[in-house]
Amino acid sequence: MKKLFYSLLIIILSVSCSVEMEESDDYGTTEGSPTSPVALTIGTAHSGKVAKWDYSYYSFTTSSTGAGTYELAVTSLAISDSWSSSKSIGIEAYTVQGSPNTSSVDTMESLIADGTAYFGYKNANASTTYYIRIYGYGKGTYTLTLSKGGSEGSVDKPVELTLGTAHAGTVEGYESYYLHGNSFYKFTTSGADNYTLTMTNSDSLDCYLYSNSNFSSSSLIDGCTEGANLSGTFNGSSGTGLSGSTTYYLEIEQQATSSAPKTTTYNITVAAEGN
């Protein structure tokens, strides 16, 4: 009888091990590839999937007026992995087609439940293709919806302001030592003069004025005092006013004190002080 019992036990354990091996071998499937990513349409939901310990690849292209931030909402996220406690996906955005390297990856974010990836609030350029890859720490399925974020313009494609005319703008961000969220603008002076900035923001914002289109710190010539209803007078680095018939570059920075993403709306007006 004991021999029969041990024989049955061995058979049961063998079957059990066989079933576990079959489950662990089902890693799922990926979609897209580094050189042929799945194209996402802005505003249209896409049902996607990723294999365990592998990548799925996506891309999206901004319109000619689409400079600004973008957000990727992940819903219906389901991850199965009986071997790992890290049931999540990793999301990377990058600018070079093919497998991203250290210099091309913009940001890395992880989700263990439905949520949104904000790509570090980095502003995308207009008429440009960007790439996203999603890593599966388990076999995953999800729905992806890409949408335009709350910041506008970019370093390469700032929004052009018309002197004396209010522009309805927005900027999105949250409280962070490294990341705030920025919108980018430019304006061209009519003549040599001081120029005023007037805004109607209810949340705290800050501003920086640059003489160069690269918005670099070396070309910073003026700024504002952080706060609501932002205002300031730009009189240049020499204090004698801005040069005539010259293009200047203006950055508006979110100063939200909330840890949750927040979009601030405002009217922004730049005008010559002498008018």
Averaged pLDDT, groups of 10, the chain, 275 residues long: 41 40 69 95 97 94 94 93 69 80 69 87 92 92 96 96 98 73 96 96 94 94 93 88 96 82 94 85
- Bridge partners of residue 275, in order along the sequence: none
Domain at 158-272: CATH code = 2.60.120.380
Q: What is the pLDDT of residue 187?
A: 98
Cα–Cα separations (whole angstroms), residue 118 to 60, 174, 191, 251, 267: 15, 11, 40, 19, 24
Q: What is the pLDDT of residue 173?
A: 85
- Eight-class DSSP state of 88: -
Looking at the chain, the domain(s) classified CATH 2.60.120.380 span 38-149, 158-272
Question: How deeply is 156 buried, as exposed, middle or buried, from its count of CB atoms within 10 A (0-12, 13-18, 19+)?
Answer: middle
In the chain, DSSP finds a helix count (H) and a strand count (E) of: 1, 18
Specify the DSSP element, H or E, that contains 134: strand 129-136
- Bridge partners of residue 227, in order along the sequence: 205
Q: What is the pLDDT of residue 191?
A: 93
Residue 180 token pair? 């705030």
Domain at 38-149: CATH code = 2.60.120.380
Q: What is the pLDDT of residue 171?
A: 96
CA nearest to 133, candidates 175, 174, 104: 104
- Neighbour tally for 213: CB within 10 Å: 15
Q: What is the pLDDT of residue 196?
A: 97
Residue 68 token pair? 């600004």
Q: What is the pLDDT of residue 250?
A: 98
Q: What is the pLDDT of residue 180?
A: 76
Q: What is the pLDDT of residue 9?
A: 38
The overall pTM is greater than 0.75: yes
